[in-house]
């Protein structure tokens, strides 16, 4: 008897909503943004589930969603034979490089940030957020001249420090380039209409230069991003990325979407940038070799010179820097293996993807405008030598384009066409497992956001409107949106 009553009242409620919605719809001017209160009333709909959307990486999708190694698995469609090559590549991604002269893989440094790829990309996930007053260990601080560019239009290296501050050296850190540390925070309180408050903390860095303070410099602190699904991103057709370009905001949605064109060292020309926080690398190979050289101090086929430019280290002479037994230190076979590996690290399957709350969150994600930049899906093209990632239906939630993210996120360091306020839309796949893989991981470029909600609240610039809509949402809808993000 009691049950019946409930059903009845629920039905009445539905009818009420229906009538109400129709009224609103009739009044609605289609040129305007949908009135926000409509969102609160529209019913969560099973239709928001799309068949197969849980396979974020298409057929490459992996199935470990419970362990700390959830990001450290190969594409599920790798053959046994290619899996062997994948794991051999993994071993070099994990290899710790040793001082020049050792019998193992040697040639570390002389200046470096970490001694392995894995050291920063912890279990292939996001690096740890910098802790107050502690040495940074899985992020880089990039530096360059504030004005001017190099001959290829990229950041102009500082004559002493180069393009990143290496905070370690191979002789027990006698005198590394610098020792950047977070020395405090600028805090900001966000108050929601329902009184809920979130305290945001923006880290303040002291760079602690060891070789003098450079004149006219810009810097940008960046945690190591997760490396899942990179081959799939590489396989997205360029035309599909450019489709969303709207640099002058002709459609007047407040969102521009700008491609970065960056220098390809191998082909000697400008190409669309896809990788890195500012889409400043055209392909995975160049990204990897640049990281070997800049962050580990390992010479590679593309970057054969030691990253050594300081002038007064007590034991290191940069005119004649200590080098490893092999030249380059990471030879073509090693960079090929690491490339193979980094193309094929799988994206894990989504969780709770049919949960009504998650589907409601997904609906809101689209309706308040998040998806305008965090583009949901693509069908990849053909990527030569990588059949696994070719022709896959994928759900990365990124447009790989640059967007003005506002004052709070700006770093004032331009990188090719990306100015100091612009960042590449970060792919959201796997975001719900980031903390499982590395509990100390921080979100956003400098790891400042401890939670996904904090990351949303830091959005500004082109994302300001979407953020404001998020703040206006009632509590259960905010929770739904976060549950959706956590299901990715």
Partner 1 sequence: MKTIIKSNFFILTIVSLLLGSFCKKETDNDNAFWALLLTNSAKDNSEIIKRYANLAFKIYEETYTKTVELKNAVDEYVNDPSNQTKLIAVRNKWREARQKYLLTETLRFSDGPIDNPDILFVEVDGSPTELEGLINAWPMDEQFNECYLIGSNIIGGSGCTQRPLDENSLINFNAENDREENVATGWHPIEYLLWGQDDADATKDPGRGLTQTIHYFTSDPTFSPRRRTYLKNATNILLNHIKMLKDSWDPSDQNSYYHKFVNDPNALKKIITGFASFSKNELAAERLNGIDTRDQEDEHSCFSDTTNQDFYYNALGIKIFFTGDYNGEEGIGLDTISGIYAERILRQLNLTLDGMNPEIAPTYDVVIVPNAPGRTTEHEDQYTNIKFNLRPALNNVGFDFVEIGTNLGFTIIPRIP
138: contact with partner 1 by CB under 8 A: no
Of 105 and 145, which CB lies nearer to partner 1 in the complex structure? Answer: 105
Q: In whole angstroms, how close is the CB of 101 to partner 1 at the nearest point?
A: 4
Stretch binding partner 1 (CB under 8 A), from 37-45, 63-71, 237-245, 388-396: 63-71
103: contact with partner 1 by CB under 8 A: yes
Q: Cα dist. 375→7, 150, 255, 271, 426 in Å?
A: 38, 32, 13, 21, 10
97: contact with partner 1 by CB under 8 A: yes
- Residues in region 449-488 near partner 1 by CB under 8 A: none
3-class DSSP assignment, residue 389: helix
Of 69 and 390, which CB lies nearer to partner 1 in the complex structure? Answer: 69
CA–CA dist 389, 257 (Å, integer) = 25
Q: How many chain residues bind partner 1 (CB under 8 A)?
A: 48
CA–CA dist 291, 298 (Å, integer) = 9
- Residues in region 159-218 near partner 1 by CB under 8 A: 168, 171-174
331: contact with partner 1 by CB under 8 A: yes
Q: In whole angstroms, how close is the CB of 103 to partner 1 at the nearest point?
A: 5
CA–CA dist 121, 69 (Å, integer) = 12
Stretch binding partner 1 (CB under 8 A), from 52-60, 90-98, 292-300, 359-367: 90-98
| One of 21, 42, 59, 85 touching partner 1 (CB under 8 A) | 85
| One of 45, 191, 326, 476 touching partner 1 (CB under 8 A) | 326
- Residues in region 296-325 near partner 1 by CB under 8 A: 314-316, 325
CA–CA dist 65, 62 (Å, integer) = 8
Of 105 and 362, which CB lies nearer to partner 1 in the complex structure? Answer: 105
Stretch binding partner 1 (CB under 8 A), from 73-81, 144-152, 246-254, 434-442: 73-81
Of 92 and 423, which CB lies nearer to partner 1 in the complex structure? Answer: 92
178, 192, 485: which is closest to 309 by C-alpha? 178
322, 315, 340, 330: which is closest to 88 by C-alpha? 340
CB 335 within 8 A of CB 152: no
Of 173 and 312, which CB lies nearer to partner 1 in the complex structure? Answer: 173
* DSSP string for residues in 401-469: -EEE--TTT-----BTTB-TTEEEPPP-TTGGGHHHH-TTB-BSTTS-BSSHHHHHHH--GGGHHHHHH
- 237-242, long-range: CB within 8 Å, 24+ apart, which pairs? 237/378, 237/380, 237/381, 238/272, 240/378, 241/272, 241/274, 241/399, 241/400, 241/401, 242/272
> Which positions from 12 to 51 touch partner 1 by CB under 8 A, shown as an x/- string?
----------------------------------------
92: contact with partner 1 by CB under 8 A: yes
Q: In whole angstroms, how close is the CB of 451 to partner 1 at the nearest point?
A: 27
Give the burial string for 136-154 (b: 16+ CB within 10 Å, else e). bbbbbbbbbbbeeeeeeeb
CA–CA dist 121, 124 (Å, integer) = 5
- Name the site residues for partner 1 (rule: CB under 8 A): 63-64, 67, 69, 72-73, 80-81, 83-88, 90-92, 94-106, 115-116, 123, 137, 168, 171-174, 314-316, 325-326, 331, 333-334, 337
């Amino acid at each position: 008897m009691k049950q019946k009553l409930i059903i009845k009242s629920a039905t009445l409620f539905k009818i009420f909503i229906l009538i109400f919605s129709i009224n609103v719809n009739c009044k609605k001017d289609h040129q305007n943004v949908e009135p926000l209160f409509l969102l609160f009333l529209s019913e969560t709909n099973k239709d928001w589930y799309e068949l197969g959307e849980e396979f974020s990486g298409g057929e490459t999708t992996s199935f470990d969603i419970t362990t700390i190694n959830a990001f450290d698995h190969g594409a599920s469609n790798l053959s046994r034979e290619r899996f062997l090559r994948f794991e051999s590549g993994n071993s070099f991604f994990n290899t710790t490089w040793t001082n020049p002269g050792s019998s193992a893989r040697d040639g570390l440094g002389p200046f470096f940030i970490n001694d392995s790829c894995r050291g920063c990309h912890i279990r292939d996930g996001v690096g740890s957020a910098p802790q107050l007053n502690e040495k940074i260990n899985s992020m880089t601080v990039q530096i360059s001249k504030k004005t001017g560019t190099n001959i290829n239009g990229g950041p102009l290296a500082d004559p002493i420090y180069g393009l990143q501050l290496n905070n370690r050296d191979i002789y027990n850190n006698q005198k590394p380039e610098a020792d950047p540390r977070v020395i405090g925070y600028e805090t900001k309180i966000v108050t929601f209409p329902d009184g809920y408050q979130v305290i945001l903390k923006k880290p303040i860095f002291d760079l602690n230069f060891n070789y003098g303070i450079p004149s006219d410099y810009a810097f940008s602190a960046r945690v190591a991003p997760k490396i899942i699904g990179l081959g799939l991103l590489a396989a997205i057709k360029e035309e599909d990325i450019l489709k969303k370009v709207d640099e002058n905001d002709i459609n007047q949605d407040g969102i521009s979407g700008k491609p970065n064109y960056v220098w390809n060292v191998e082909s000697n020309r400008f190409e669309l940038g896809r990788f890195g926080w500012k889409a400043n690398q055209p392909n995975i190979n160049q990204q990897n070799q640049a990281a070997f050289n800049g962050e580990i101090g390992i010479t590679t086929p593309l970057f054969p010179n030691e990253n050594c430019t300081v002038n007064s280290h007590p034991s290191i002479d940069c005119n004649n820097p200590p080098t490893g037994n092999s030249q380059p230190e990471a030879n073509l076979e090693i960079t090929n293996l690491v490339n193979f590996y980094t193309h094929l690290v799988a994206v894990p399957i989504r969780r709770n993807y049919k949960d009504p709350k998650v589907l409601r969150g997904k609906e809101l994600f689209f309706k308040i405008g998040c998806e305008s930049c965090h583009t949901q899906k693509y069908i990849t093209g053909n990527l030569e030598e990588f059949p696994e990632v070719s022709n896959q239906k994928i759900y990365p939630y990124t447009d790989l384009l640059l967007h003005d993210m506002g004052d709070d996120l700006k770093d004032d360091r331009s990188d090719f066409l990306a100015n100091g306020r612009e960042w590449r839309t970060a792919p959201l796949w796997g975001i719900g497992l980031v903390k499982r893989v590395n509990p100390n991981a921080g979100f956003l470029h400098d790891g400042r956001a401890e939670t996904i909600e904090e990351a949303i609240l830091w959005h500004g610039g082109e994302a300001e409107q979407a953020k404001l809509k998020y703040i206006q949402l009632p509590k259960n809808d905010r929770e739904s949106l976060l549950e959706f993000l956590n299901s990715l």
